[in-house]
Structures are given as structure tokens and as C-alpha cells.
């Protein structure tokens, strides 16, 4: 009787084939899933491309309405180009003007700007004490909350909004950073781009309750013309990664979510009120300053608008949508000509102080107290002559 061959190998082969089929089906399912995802990405990219085309068309329309064209052969106006040129020229100016006579050289000095604003009847933070050297700083007898600053510094460098924890210890508002007087002195000394005098001012209270750190209201102005307003919230002190932004025009209308490509836009940030009062304050100070552009930083407090500082050259990329950059650049050009025409007609090429009383905020021994202050003197004139007269913006 003939023996039949075993069938075990066939069973094993069938099992192997079944496993292979299962694997292939899984791979097919995976490929189908990936294909669906890729199609979704393609659809999203197509939508993004369509939106970019719409934005480009809208920007071109706005340029055409403004009398500009992206196809012009002449170099178009540009706010950012003006700003880069201003930054480039700062070093030669410092070498040429050691006594700080030039209007641009005077602007980075915070206490000087407080003095300028106060002379025009504009509110500034109350200065509680000032010192030439950081080692002289005395924090005794101060309110529970106050702000420690230095005269020259930018982007929140060497600015400490402080709240007293207990005797001799202070926490930086909007953070968990704790200091003593000694550590604050060391911190001020460590900032190589910050210089004295050093001073303490009141801790302002925001009109509308929000973050512990006050909202920034940064008004971009060209010799009497407001060209843009930036509202900024900083949940954490000096942490730009947490910052929220909103951009508006001079009438308080939003400039769109695409206005600044590198900024997180939040339309929920409240506008300061009354809006017109803030715009008038900024326009006034921008006429008092002998520069074609200045940024006027203001706080919306429980006692009304209060000056934060004046900024001649805002930091960061300052990249804005093409039509906005060109419109601001053209406003800068026009402001330069209006300022120069005012100078021809008798305006001193100085930052002009008004006739209101000015508090003496500089410490004893500062150059401003010398018999010959050499660049620190105040040129005072009635605001009617140049702040509200002369070559005003054509639509003012």
C-alpha cells in the first residue's frame, strides 16, 4: 500500500500566505490613509495659495488707490528701509555729538522725555527717586509696588516692575523672579546696553483690568500724522514669546490679520478710550520732536493717558504688509519735507518744550543741573507756534 505524503507543510504555507495577505492589506490601508492625508495637505496648500493670491491682489488694489504701484521702476517708499538707515547712522551720530545736541540723540533718554512731555501738559509717571550710580539706589520708604528703571535701555532691558514680598525682597510682576536690593544692583550692572541715571517711578494702574503688566499702546507718528497703532499685551514681563498684538489705523480700525507676518494677532485686545485723546497726544508730541518719525508709547491708566516713553527706532524686524510699509514710508518722506520747511520758516531744529511747569527729576550732580548744561537745556516755545502751526499734515 502506497503511503500518502504529509500535508503539514501545506498548512504552514497557507498560514504564511495568510499572514502575508494580512500584512499587505494593512499596508494598503496605511497607504490609503497616507494618500488621504496627502490630499488634505494639498487641499490646504491650495487654499493657502488662493488666500495669498487674494491678499496680494488686495494689497495691489490698496497700492493703486494710494497712487503707488509695485511695478514702479523708481525705488518705492518704505518705512522699514527708513528705519534701517536710521539704525545704520546712529553710530556716526554718537561720535559727532558727544554732548547730545541732536534731537535724535536726545530721544533714548527716558527722564528727558518725561521732562519734554510734562512741559506740554502731558501726564508722565511720578518719579519717586533718582540716582547717578546703581549702588546709590535706596528702596526704603517706597510703596508696595513700584518700577525700577534706567535712563537708557530698550525692549524691557533693565526695567523691573516690582512688588514687595517682605522686608528686603521683591518679586518682578508678571514672573516668579525674586530680587533683593543687592541683586537688583547686580542686574542693572550686568546690562551692557543700559545706562544711568537710575530711577524709581510709580506703578501705574490700568483703566481696564487685565494682565498685571499694563498693555502697551505704541503710536507710530510722522511729525503730526498718526500712521499706525500697535496694541500689545505681555502676560509675562519682557517675554516676547508670550506677547499678543493688535494693529490699528489712526481711526482705530483693524489693519488685518496679515499686517505683520511674524506676529500673533489678537483682535480681542481692547482699544484705549477715549481713542481721539490718545491720538491727539501722540500727534502733539511728534510735532514737538524735531524728527520725521517717532513712536509714542502710552499707557491707558485709571488717571487717563500717561506717557511711557518715546522711541526713535523701534526694535524687531518691523516687517509689515507691503501696502502698509509703503504708506508709512511715504508719510515719513512727507514728514521730513514738512519739518525742513518749518525749519526754513524759523522752527529751531531742537526738540521743543512747552510752557507748562516741569518737575526736576534728575539727581543732584547730573549734567542738566550745571550752569552751562551743554545740550541739556530746554528750548521752550508756545505750542501754538509749531506744535499746532507750521506745515501740518495735509489732511489735518
Q: For residue 44, what pLDDT is reported?
A: 72
Q: For residue 241, what pLDDT is reported?
A: 81
Q: For residue 392, what pLDDT is reported?
A: 87
Q: For residue 194, what pLDDT is reported?
A: 86
Kindly compute the dihedral angle of the four CA atoms of residues 186, 190, 192, 198, in this order, to the nearest 10 degrees: -20
Average pLDDT value over all residues in the chain: 89
Q: pLDDT tens digit string along 326-353?
A: 999 999 999 999 999 999 999 999 999 9
Query: What is the band of 325 on the pLDDT scale with cuts at 50, 70, 90?
Result: very high
Whether 134 and 187 have beta carbons less than 8 Å apart is answered as no
Closest among 275, 233, 266 to 247, alpha carbons compared: 266
Strand ranges of the sheet holding 178-179, from the earlier edge strand across to the other edge: 127-131, 195-202, 145-152, 160-166, 169-172, 178-179
Mean pLDDT check: name the lowest of 253-257, 346-350, 365-369: 365-369
Query: What is the band of 31 on the pLDDT scale with cuts at 50, 70, 90?
Result: confident
Whether 122 and 304 have beta carbons less than 8 Å apart is answered as no
Closest among 199, 195, 196, 237 to 216, alpha carbons compared: 237
Q: For residue 61, what pLDDT is reported?
A: 66
**Is the bond into 197 cis (omega within 30 degrees of 0)?**
yes
The answer to whether residue 70 scores a pLDDT higher than 60 is: no
Grid cell digits, residue 247: 494693529
Mean pLDDT check: name the lowest of 10-24, 52-66, 110-124, 193-207: 52-66
Q: For residue 155, what pLDDT is reported?
A: 63
Q: For residue 40, what pLDDT is reported?
A: 78
Amino acid at each position: 500500500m502506497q503511503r500518502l505524503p504529509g500535508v503539514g507543510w501545506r498548512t504552514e504555507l497557507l498560514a504564511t500566505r495568510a499572514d502575508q495577505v494580512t500584512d499587505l492589506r494593512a499596508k494598503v490601508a496605511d497607504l490609503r490613509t497616507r494618500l488621504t492625508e496627502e490630499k488634505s495637505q494639498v487641499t490646504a496648500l491650495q487654499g493657502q495659495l488662493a488666500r495669498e493670491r487674494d491678499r496680494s491682489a488686495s494689497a495691489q488694489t490698496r497700492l493703486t488707490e494710494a497712487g503707488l504701484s509695485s511695478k514702479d521702476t523708481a525705488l518705492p517708499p518704505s518705512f522699514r528701509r527708513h528705519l534701517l538707515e536710521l539704525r545704520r547712522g546712529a553710530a556716526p551720530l554718537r561720535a559727532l555729538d558727544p554732548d547730545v545736541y541732536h534731537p535724535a540723540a536726545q530721544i533714548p533718554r527716558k527722564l528727558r522725555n518725561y521732562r519734554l512731555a510734562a512741559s506740554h501738559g502731558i501726564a508722565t509717571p511720578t518719579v519717586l527717586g533718582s540716582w547717578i550710580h546703581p549702588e546709590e539706589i535706596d528702596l526704603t520708604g517706597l510703596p508696595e509696588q513700584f518700577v525700577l528703571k534706567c535712563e537708557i535701555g530698550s525692549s524691557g532691558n533693565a526695567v523691573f516692575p516690582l512688588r514687595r514680598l517682605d522686608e528686603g525682597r521683591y518679586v518682578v510682576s508678571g514672573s516668579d523672579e525674586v530680587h533683593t536690593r543687592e541683586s537688583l544692583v547686580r542686574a542693572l550692572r550686568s546690562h551692557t546696553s543700559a545706562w544711568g541715571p537710575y530711577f524709581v517711578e510709580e506703578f501705574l494702574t490700568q483703566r481696564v483690568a487685565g494682565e498685571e503688566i499694563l498693555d502697551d499702546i505704541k503710536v507710530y507718528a510722522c511729525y503730526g500724522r498718526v500712521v499706525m497703532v500697535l496694541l500689545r499685551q505681555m502676560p509675562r514681563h519682557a517675554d516676547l514669546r508670550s506677547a499678543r498684538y493688535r494693529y490699528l489705523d489712526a481711526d482705530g480700525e483693524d489693519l488685518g490679520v496679515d499686517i505683520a507676518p511674524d506676529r500673533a494677532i489678537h483682535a480681542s485686545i481692547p482699544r484705549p478710550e477715549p481713542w481721539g485723546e490718545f491720538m491727539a497726544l501722540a500727534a502733539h508730541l511728534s510735532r514737538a520732536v524735531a524728527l520725521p518719525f517717532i513712536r509714542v508709547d502710552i499707557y491707558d491708566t485709571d488717571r487717563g493717558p500717561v506717557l511711557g516713553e518715546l522711541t526713535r527706532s523701534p526694535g524687531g524686524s518691523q516687517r509689515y504688509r507691503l501696502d502698509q510699509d509703503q504708506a508709512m514710508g511715504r508719510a515719513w518722506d512727507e514728514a521730513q519735507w514738512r519739518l525742513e520747511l518749518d525749519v526754513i520758516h524759523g522752527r529751531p531744529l531742537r526738540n521743543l518744550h512747552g510752557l507748562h511747569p516741569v518737575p526736576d527729576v534728575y539727581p543732584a550732580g547730573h549734567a542738566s543741573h550745571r550752569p552751562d548744561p551743554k545740550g541739556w537745556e530746554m528750548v521752550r516755545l508756545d505750542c501754538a507756534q509749531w506744535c499746532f502751526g507750521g506745515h501740518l499734515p495735509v489732511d489735518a
